[in-house]
Structure 1
Amino acid sequence: MDHYLDVYHDLLRDWQGSDISFLEIGVYKGGSLDLWQGFFGPKAKLVFADIDPECRAMERPGLTIEIGDQSDGAFLDGLAARHGPFDLIIDDGGHKMNQQTTSLRHLWPHLNDGGLYVVEDTHTSYWPGFGGGLRKPDSMVEVAKQLVDQMHSWYSDEPHFKFYSAAQQIGSIRFHDSMIILEKRLHDKPRSLTARNGAVSYSTVQVDSRNRKSVF
């Protein structure tokens, strides 16, 4: 998708030439290898993964290629143990629902605080041939929607809606056409800020209040 380039420009322009640790799932013909190596430069640690053993031939100095199935949790755990943690993870692999959701579940713990997890081609969440379908609960888009709720579980009064650790780990979730971006931001209970006569005070009332009748 050509609009991905605009999204990445806005998202990563401050990271250009940095020494980040990077993982991309999906090599195919290797088109993105030159792109990312040129963008991040020689200080970056670049790791790619693909299911096709022939992709190993594209390995070069400054760039590692691992061979394995992204729907195999054991493979992902081993890859992360060898090369992680990562600052940026991009899933541009097989685009099937079990592949995208398994990769997120196993790799998210190996994303650094402040890091980004990007899932490309999420239009396949609407394709039955990829395990998707409109509002199918285990599609990548629906999983991300659930994470929006979980991110806000600090504030829920619903007895059936428990507190989720995602609330302490996710800083933001961005939806673009065919693209989902999750920012990892480790944090404690959110606080509101009040300034009066030059004095600043903090409060957790927004989180601690229950049975609210008003936002005030």
Structure 2
Amino acid sequence: MHGADRREGTVPPGHLDRTPLSDQVRGILLDHLARGRWQPGQRIVERQVAAELGVSQAPVREALRDLRSMRLVEFSPHRGTRVCDLTPGRLCQVYPVRGALERLAAELALPRLAGDVRALEDHATGMRRAAAERDVDAQVRHGVAFHREIVRASGNAALSPSWESLAAELWTRLSLTRVRTALHENAEDHEPIIEAFRRRDPDVGRLLQLHILAYAHEPIGAP
């Protein structure tokens, strides 16, 4: 999606690669939620989204079902689909689950990576560049890709869908804009993780888990 399309909340017809279409739509809806296109309580009109994306309503409906399972939107017969309140307290409920999943992913990935951290280093470089340019979009993109690479390297086919269901892009953006806003600090925080994978540190899973929990400053269970 081009920058102008992101700002206006529209996507040119034919932009989506349509495989799988509902996943593409879900990603775009998550991006819109993260950017605040829809405020808490505001209705997301299925027909309008489908028209903007140049698709039928079926993949939009499926994507919205996924967002309901993530507790990002709620549906009622009389009020339609409306955005939930995405508070820092919600972030503090999601991040312990994400931390546990990534701890397992790191432990599984450690022998598979065998000290090869080139992909992680590339994303860390992207985060540092984004911090220097005050580019939140790039910081989110490289930050999520860094963690997704660890999940991918775990080689566990059941782990990845569970991790993706936590909407890492959305919560990372909310964390960086509402809770932990120092982009340079965010970039630097990933260096110890890279070093732990490089030296094949058996405690890398715990290190990664603590790293994730540090991005939710409110006490666990906050409203």
What TM-score, normalized by structure 2, do the two folds share?
A: 0.31
Q: Identify the structure with bigger relative contact order (alpha carbons < 8 Å, sequence gap 6+).
A: 2
**Bigger proportion of residues as helix:** 2
**Bigger proportion of residues as strand:** 1
Find the structure with the greater CA-based Rg. Answer: 1
What TM-score, normalized by structure 1, do the two folds share?
A: 0.32
